[in-house]
Chain A
Amino acid sequence: MTALETAKNAIRMEHITKRFGNVVANHDINLELHKGEILSLLGENGSGKTTLMNMLSGIYYADEGQIYVNDQPVTISSPKDAFDLGIGMIHQHFKLVDVLTAAENIVLGLKDEGKLDLKKAEQTITEICQRYGFEIDLNRKIYEMSVSQKQTVEIVKVLYRGAEILILDEPTAVLTPQETDKLFAVMRNMKADGKSLIIITHKLHEVLEVSDRVAVLRKGEYIGDVHTCDASQQSLTDMMVGRAVTLNIDRPQPVNVAPRLEVKGLTVYDELGVKRLSDVTFTANAGEILGIAGIAGSGQRELLEAISGLYPIASGSVRFHDPEGKNGPEGRELVGLDPMAIRKCGVSMAFVPEDRLGMGLVGSMGMTGNMMLRSWRSGRGVFLNRKEPEALANRIWKELEVVTPSTAFPVRRMSGGNVQKVLVGREIAQDPAVLMTAYAVRGLDINTSYTIYNLLTEEKMKGVAVVYVGEDLDVLLELCDRILVLCGGQVSGIVDGRTADKREVGTLMTRVGGGSADE
């Protein structure tokens, strides 16, 4: 026990290398987590953060290298080994049973001697909650909980199992600013209690706010670590990207603003008869970027799909005003038309859906095949026209610097950023009048994200009505001219992107109804 108490490092990873096929996900990484500190693991998507942490939690096994816990060499070959060593990981995707209560989920899978004593377990759980400041209703079923409540259950579950070392994988991605503050408070309490924490994130202001030290990964390599007090957003970005990057989004004043898409009283139900959108009314203007903010699952997907003719509409109207004023001042009604019918009546609407490979692209086809999704009808007679899609694919390949061996290489095997470039490139190439994007930069590195922001702004200046569904409030506030906030399928407010404040939007995100904020 003396070794345990005197140990300086909770975790030490030495020369860790992990390969997947020919891809080196982690190369010769040395990482230390001191006792009682909060360490941020920072890096762009695909830089190997999650892979590295999965080796601590027993999901992957390192090809090379050695892990030490409390300065003792250990072998972690299963999640159980990790638990036995007091390592607990809270994954991005929660691993909870929906129909069980919070308490049941927390004790699930533990092999205690004798009969399960839920009463006693609940007592222990309540103690844990009080000690660290968690708010949790133990008898509530998981499916009735919001995302942040589910996350709380995950964290308590790990603590209940006696974790001394906690790893949180992008915990704030699904939280509102207020919920994030709460989480950070809890993290500080845990730290004060002597726990050691690692938080994976790519949001810089969070790194600066919560952590003591930052370790940076880039392309699977360990770049270095700095004390948070010596770091700034700019210095961290430069470490993360490997060169100086400007972090400003250019937001020119809109010109020639005119209504393009008028949505009135839109209401939709899903297959189970649950109301997903309720009386949604707004106007998307040409020459403007309209942001749509909201907690995940507040109706963003349904809204965009309903407008593009992919989701059944129960009531309401969607009117399209042609840039040349065809169809008169009333505009063209789109409700009741399918995507092909919308296209055929001359409405050019581009849509970058959230589910890139499941809806926007065909994973097994190359760039050319995917370009044809928008133009497959244009060939002569029964045959396909491959020439123009091939030319377009080559153009996007070059202009957006897509990394792929050829235009026939399956897009599924490209990295997330490149997949998104293919999709956004194709949609913009249609010269749309309306461009709708859902989570256009999710999973992209900083450079690609800024490429996409610039493309959207370019489209806006061309007079396109751009609808940008986003999750990062900082970006929404920097990029959009107006921001519509959805909460539980209702519009809880529309604010000016130039004057609104983050707290204000955060409040709107949780205002209506309060609940029903999960997926």
Chain B
Amino acid sequence: MNKTMKFHISKRASLPWYKAWGIRAAAILAALLTCAVVTMLLTGENPLNIFTTLFYGAFGTARRSWVTIQELAILLGISLAVTPAFKMRFWNIGAEGQVLIGGLATTACMICLADKLPNAGVILCMILASIAAGAVWGFLPAFFKARWNTNETLFTLMMNYIATQLAAYYIIVWEVPKGAGKIGIINQSSEIGWLPRLGNQYLLSILIVALLTGVMYIYLNYSKHGYEIAVVGESQRTASYAGIKVERVIIRTMVLSGAVCGLMGLLLVGGINHTLTTTVVDGRGFTAVMVSWLAKFNPIAMIFTSLLLVFLSRGASEISSAFGLNHSFSDILTGIILFFIIGSEFFITYKISVRRSAGKEA
């Protein structure tokens, strides 16, 4: 009868914001330290060097900084796209496919309409087609969910594979030169369908996403639609009680989510890469889920969470190349860092108290 637990875990009543952020900062510090130790043990490098390299990888030169910010913009854009769905507790993990299908629609317009329409016409078609394609990819799982209560997680996940297969098929159809298995830079000489440059090649997508962030913030917090989304997410019964048409909200929100993803596909293909590969989205559709969650679905906070993730992944990949390690090493480092960041949420929600041994006299 004398078994007493040494410590126990209980839910925190509430935590002032500065303490919560203190815990998160401590987690990042601990993560960086662990990374340094791991790298040191494996390479024998000075940890200070490692951190310098990390920072250099993301912000070492002007070009690196621009690329980092552009990467941030794309990741943030996709995160903004999935956020309304998540706020509605609709687990859309199909952003990967929704972006890719938007990119595929963009590519189709660039290739098929190049000699039929003037440049402005092509670009207009690209915009409409990419948004429409993404919206369709969002609509399908939402429709089935609203009508027959299918599982949206599986459905959106499967739609990713369909998008990848379609892209793979059309890449072969459009391959240049024949047999290359890839499209190459589209309209390289005429630059038809290339989105205009503002100052430099990075700024356009950055500005569009900045605008999107503001709009999404207002949409979620100050519009009727945003309110409906929040209520449906909390409880569909409460939503019906308040006279909200749940099915309509689910479909509308997912169409929006998919459409914004499609737009990001447009930026990736028409504005940045000018080509299409099946890996153009590069897992951002899944990373976006984390960005959105870590920021508790707040678009402004998402700027920081996506910056953090982009900074870390670029820095980590610089570490692996600078110290002559293969790419898996940067994955290990990113993994360690994410482990700490996500783990810190546990300590924000719960506290652990050591128990003084009660009942000693027994």
Residue numbers of A with Cβ under 8 A of B are 20-23, 61-62, 64, 66, 73-75, 77, 81, 308, 310, 338-340, 343, 351, 353, 355, 357-365, 369, 372-374, 376-377, 379, 382-384
Q: A21-B13, A372-B227 are in contact. Are A75 and B362 (CB under 8 A)?
A: yes
Contact of A340 among B12, B238, B243, B359 (CB under 8 A): B243
**Are B241 and A75 in contact (CB-based, < 8 A)?**
no
Number of interface residues of B (CB under 8 A): 33
**Are B231 and A353 in contact (CB-based, < 8 A)?**
no
**Are B241 and A360 in contact (CB-based, < 8 A)?**
yes
Distance between Cα atoms of A192 and B359 in the complex (Å): 33
**Are A382 and B224 in contact (CB-based, < 8 A)?**
yes
* Smallest beta-carbon distance A150→chain B, Å: 26
Kindly state whether residue B64 has any CB partner on chain A within 8 Å: no
Chain B residues within 8 Å of A377, by CB: 224, 243
Chain B residues within 8 Å of A61, by CB: 5, 8, 358
Distance between Cα atoms of A374 and B224 in the complex (Å): 12
Chain A residues within 8 Å of B237, by CB: 310, 355, 358-359
Chain B residues within 8 Å of A22, by CB: 13
Chain B residues within 8 Å of A338, by CB: 240, 243, 245
Kindly state whether residue B175 has any CB partner on chain A within 8 Å: no
Distance between Cα atoms of A310 and B236 in the complex (Å): 12
Distance between Cα atoms of A362 and B222 in the complex (Å): 17
* Smallest beta-carbon distance A414→chain B, Å: 13
Distance between Cα atoms of A418 and B4 in the complex (Å): 37
11 cross-chain CB contacts under 8 A: A20-B13, A61-B8, A66-B359, A74-B359, A77-B4, A310-B241, A338-B240, A339-B243, A374-B242, A376-B242, A384-B222
Chain B residues within 8 Å of A74, by CB: 1, 359, 362
Chain A residues within 8 Å of B245, by CB: 338, 340
Q: A340-B243, A343-B243, A373-B242 are in contact. Are A75 and B234 (CB under 8 A)?
A: no
**Are B359 and A362 in contact (CB-based, < 8 A)?**
no
**Are A62 and B358 in contact (CB-based, < 8 A)?**
yes
**Are B240 and A21 in contact (CB-based, < 8 A)?**
no
Chain A residues within 8 Å of B3, by CB: 75, 77
**Are A365 and B241 in contact (CB-based, < 8 A)?**
no
Contact of B1 among A75, A362, A383 (CB under 8 A): A75
Chain A residues within 8 Å of B223, by CB: 382-384
Distance between Cα atoms of A369 and B225 in the complex (Å): 14
* Smallest beta-carbon distance B8→chain A, Å: 8
Distance between Cα atoms of A181 and B119 in the complex (Å): 87
Chain A residues within 8 Å of B238, by CB: 358-362, 373
User: Other than the known A75-B362, A358-B238, A373-B242, what 12 A-B pairs have Cβ atoms closer than 8 Å?
Assistant: A22-B13, A61-B358, A73-B359, A77-B4, A339-B242, A339-B243, A357-B235, A362-B231, A363-B234, A364-B230, A369-B230, A383-B224
**Are B11 and A75 in contact (CB-based, < 8 A)?**
no
**B13, B224, B238: most-surrounded residue (chain A CB, <10 A):** B238
Residue of B nearest to A413 (CB): B14
Distance between Cα atoms of A64 and B4 in the complex (Å): 13
Chain B residues within 8 Å of A340, by CB: 243-245
Kindly state whether residue B361 has any CB partner on chain A within 8 Å: yes
* Smallest beta-carbon distance A54→chain B, Å: 14
Distance between Cα atoms of A44 and B237 in the complex (Å): 30
Distance between Cα atoms of A362 and B226 in the complex (Å): 14
**Are B241 and A339 in contact (CB-based, < 8 A)?**
yes
**Please, what's the 1-or-0 string for B7-50, where 1 marks a CB less than 8 Å from any CB in chain A?**
01011110000000000000000000000000000000000000
Distance between Cα atoms of A343 and B358 in the complex (Å): 59
**Are B13 and A23 in contact (CB-based, < 8 A)?**
yes
Chain A residues within 8 Å of B231, by CB: 362, 373
**Are A384 and B2 in contact (CB-based, < 8 A)?**
no
**Are B359 and A310 in contact (CB-based, < 8 A)?**
no
Contact of A379 among B2, B224, B358, B359 (CB under 8 A): B224
Chain A residues within 8 Å of B1, by CB: 74-75, 81
Q: A64-B358, A360-B238 are in contact. Are A77 and B222 (CB under 8 A)?
A: no
**Are A339 and B362 in contact (CB-based, < 8 A)?**
no
* Smallest beta-carbon distance B356→chain A, Å: 9
**Are B13 and A358 in contact (CB-based, < 8 A)?**
no
Report, nearest first, the 8 A-B pairs whose CB atoms are least far apart. A21-B13, A340-B243, A75-B359, A373-B242, A339-B243, A359-B237, A22-B13, A362-B234
Distance between Cα atoms of A21 and B12 in the complex (Å): 6
Interface residues of B in 280-307 (CB under 8 A from A): none
**Are A362 and B230 in contact (CB-based, < 8 A)?**
yes
Distance between Cα atoms of A355 and B240 in the complex (Å): 13
**Are A75 and B4 in contact (CB-based, < 8 A)?**
yes
Chain B residues within 8 Å of A383, by CB: 222-224
Residue of B nearest to A310 (CB): B240
* Smallest beta-carbon distance A276→chain B, Å: 16
Chain A residues within 8 Å of B224, by CB: 376-377, 379, 382-384
Residue of B nearest to A81 (CB): B1
Distance between Cα atoms of A362 and B359 in the complex (Å): 43
Residue of B nearest to A21 (CB): B13
Distance between Cα atoms of A55 and B231 in the complex (Å): 37
Distance between Cα atoms of A252 and B240 in the complex (Å): 36
Q: A21-B13, A75-B2, A77-B5 are in contact. Are A353 and B241 (CB under 8 A)?
A: yes
**Are A362 and B362 in contact (CB-based, < 8 A)?**
no
**B2, B12, B242: most-surrounded residue (chain A CB, <10 A):** B242
Chain B residues within 8 Å of A357, by CB: 235
Residue of B nearest to A379 (CB): B224
Q: A20-B10, A77-B4, A359-B237 are in contact. Are A384 and B227 (CB under 8 A)?
A: yes
* Smallest beta-carbon distance A27→chain B, Å: 16
Interface residues of B in 237-290 (CB under 8 A from A): 237-238, 240-245
* Smallest beta-carbon distance B227→chain A, Å: 5
Chain A residues within 8 Å of B5, by CB: 61, 77
Chain B residues within 8 Å of A20, by CB: 10-11, 13
Residue of A nearest to B362 (CB): A73
Chain A residues within 8 Å of B11, by CB: 20-21
Distance between Cα atoms of A372 and B244 in the complex (Å): 12
Distance between Cα atoms of A74 and B12 in the complex (Å): 29
**Are A359 and B235 in contact (CB-based, < 8 A)?**
yes
Chain A residues within 8 Å of B359, by CB: 66, 73-75
**A21, A22, A62, A338: most-surrounded residue (chain B CB, <10 A):** A21
**Please, what's the 1-or-0 string for B212-235, where 1 marks a CB less than 8 Å from any CB in chain A?**
000000000011111110110011
Residue of B nearest to A85 (CB): B1
Chain A residues within 8 Å of B13, by CB: 20-23
Chain A residues within 8 Å of B225, by CB: 382
Chain B residues within 8 Å of A353, by CB: 241
Distance between Cα atoms of A373 and B235 in the complex (Å): 12
**B3, B10, B11, B235: most-surrounded residue (chain A CB, <10 A):** B235
Chain A residues within 8 Å of B362, by CB: 73-75
Distance between Cα atoms of A362 and B232 in the complex (Å): 9
Chain B residues within 8 Å of A369, by CB: 227, 230
Contact of A358 among B4, B8, B235 (CB under 8 A): B235
Q: A75-B1, A379-B224 are in contact. Are A364 and B241 (CB under 8 A)?
A: no
Distance between Cα atoms of A22 and B16 in the complex (Å): 14
**Are A365 and B230 in contact (CB-based, < 8 A)?**
yes
Interface residues of B in 304-359 (CB under 8 A from A): 358-359
Chain B residues within 8 Å of A372, by CB: 227
Q: A338-B243, A361-B238, A384-B222 are in contact. Are A73 and B227 (CB under 8 A)?
A: no
* Smallest beta-carbon distance B126→chain A, Å: 27
Chain B residues within 8 Å of A374, by CB: 242
Distance between Cα atoms of A495 and B5 in the complex (Å): 57
